[in-house]
């Protein structure tokens, strides 16, 4: 199957029009007429992932986070992303990114379902009533400590950070996989008890608690790694004759 056909199938389910206007999604490098027999899925197009795609004989790399966010003035081996792009292009690997359009059309509902949230609403609308994150009822009243343990178990995360009284009882949760600092204001508007997200800095965490909002910080990778298996499952339903692999789940840091 040609790369262009796979792009169309992805965009049928996760339309690029649902991406935030600051984002960069779609086919970012490679040939649209490339015949694709092997696909590698990953969260990030880092050096290890690009090397795995090149050494493994893959025809297409699909990631959640785009390698290219800002316009490039050059593509050379003097730049980190330039080296990555050169390797992909030399190996004739088409590279596709699906970021906030997947957050809107896939990630939010999947993560909420895995956590057992009910009575869900969109946290921040992007387009046509769909958007980033979810607000919903936890599967039962639980303390912040129990909520943190629940998040760890559901997403197989080695550790989470808790902001707030660990024994405070919670009911209404906001969820934003990835980095949720910018949407914390939406969680406050919903009068949520807890905000489950990642990449919360010191001052944001303190300010949240002072406004009555507890936080479970699962890290940026902690929840979003579900992207790989979810998109793989979708593609397996709509593609035939194409082999697909996911980069093994490996959290990018350790707490010691």
pLDDT digits (tens, 9 = 90+) for 156-165: 999 999 999 9
Buried b (16+ CB within 10 A) or exposed e, 167-200: ebebebbbbbbbebbebbebbbebebbbbbbbeb
Residue 42 pLDDT level (bands cut at 50, 70, 90): very high
Lowest mean pLDDT among 30-34, 36-40, 68-72, 221-225: 68-72
Q: What is the mean pLDDT of residues 2-24?
A: 97
The yes-or-no verdict on residue 255 having pLDDT over 90 is no
pLDDT of residue 71: 87
Average model confidence (pLDDT) for the chain? Answer: 97
Can you tell me the distance from the alpha carbon of 179 to that of 256, in angstroms, rounded to the nearest whole number?
23
Question: CA nearest 68: which of 55, 79, 56, 57?
Answer: 79
């Amino acid at each position: 199957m040609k790369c262009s056909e796979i792009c169309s199938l992805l965009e049928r389910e996760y339309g690029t029009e649902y991406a935030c206007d600051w984002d960069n999604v779609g086919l970012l490098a490679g040939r649209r007429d490339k015949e694709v027999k092997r696909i590698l899925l990953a969260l990030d197009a880092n050096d290890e992932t690009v090397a795995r795609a090149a050494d493994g004989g893959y025809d297409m790399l699909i990631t959640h986070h785009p390698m290219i966010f800002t316009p490039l003035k050059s593509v050379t081996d003097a730049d980190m992303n330039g080296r990555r792009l050169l390797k992909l292009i030399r190996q004739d690997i088409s590279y596709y990114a699906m970021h906030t359009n997947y957050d809107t059309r896939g990630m939010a509902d999947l993560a909420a379902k895995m956590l057992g949230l009910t009575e869900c609403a969109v946290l921040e609308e992007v387009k046509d009533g769909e958007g980033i994150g979810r607000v919903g009822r936890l599967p039962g009243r639980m303390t912040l400590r129990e909520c943190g343990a629940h998040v760890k178990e559901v997403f197989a995360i080695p550790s989470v950070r808790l902001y707030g009284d660990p024994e405070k009882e919670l009911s209404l949760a906001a969820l934003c996989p990835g980095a949720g600092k910018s949407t914390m204001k939406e969680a406050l508007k919903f009068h949520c008890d807890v905000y489950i997200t990642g990449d919360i800095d010191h001052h944001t965490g303190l300010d949240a608690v002072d406004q009555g909002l507890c936080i479970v910080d699962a890290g940026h990778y902690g929840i979003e790694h579900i992207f790989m298996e979810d998109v793989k499952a979708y593609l397996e339903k709509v593609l035939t004759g194409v082999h697909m692999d996911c980069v093994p789940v490996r959290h990018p840091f350790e707490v010691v």
